[in-house]
Amino acid sequence: MNIEIRRSDDMHHWMGQSKMLIIKFPSSTTTHQPYPFITSTLSPNFTIQPFPPLFPTPIPPYKPPIITTLPIPTDHLQKQTFLCQIFLLNQANEIYANHNRFEYQQTSQMIQNVIYNQLKQTPLRPYLENVYVWYLYNSGPDLAVEFSIILLTPSHPNIGVTSVKNVFISVLPEIEDQLNGTHIDKNKISIQYLNHH
């Protein structure tokens, strides 16, 4: 490859006093390629280098942003079910004898929603999975309600029957208010630890 620098006087009118760099490539005797820099007649010390990869290899491991409040890991949780019974004073009614009646279903759903929504306002909120009303039945002048509170707790829970009962009693006035001012017999609240798995 020959390189020479030449003053171009005949191009003075449009280039001023600039200098031109002229690179002469050797021509191939066998082929006439339009781009001589990719032919095999290049200088032996000239090699075509591949472009560097877009990303360095190996790619560094992804580091997620630090989150200050971590969700409870579901793979280390266990289900705890507490079977509960309460008595709504002076609410017995013959309509609760038939479980297929609309009023029975409506009352069950209303009680279930009220208890669930009130427990959501307590320290049980992070663990509360569901509340389910199983059964309504007349007990003398009162209406008995059997329901379960289902919690998802860490593997070594410190939430027991006493804790759940205390939390339930703490929201009892709100539950009564949401049930149209119905009174609940505080002496007959029963909460039992059913199972966990």
Tens of each residue's pLDDT in the chain, 197 residues:
545 445 444 444 444 455 555 666 555 555 555 544 444 444 555 455 555 555 444 545 555 555 445 455 555 788 899 999 999 999 999 999 999 999 999 999 999 999 999 999 999 999 999 999 999 999 999 999 999 999 998 876 668 999 999 999 999 999 999 999 999 999 999 999 986 55
What is the per-residue pLDDT for 31? 52
* Token pair 């001589």 in the structure block, residue: 36
pTM of the model: 0.61
Tokens of 97: 């004898």
CA angle 123, 179, 136 (to 5 degrees): 95
* Burial status of residue 131 (CB atoms within 10 A of its CB: 0-12, 13-18, 19 or more): buried
What is the per-residue pLDDT for 32? 52
Q: Omega into 58 within 30° of 0, i.e. cis?
A: yes
Classify domain 74-196 at the CATH topology level: Alpha-Beta Plaits (3.30.70)
Torsion, Cα of 44, 46, 50, 52 (10° steps):
140
Q: Which residues of 80-103 are buried (b: 16+ CB within 10 A; e: fewer)?
A: bbbebbbbbeebbeeebeeeeeee
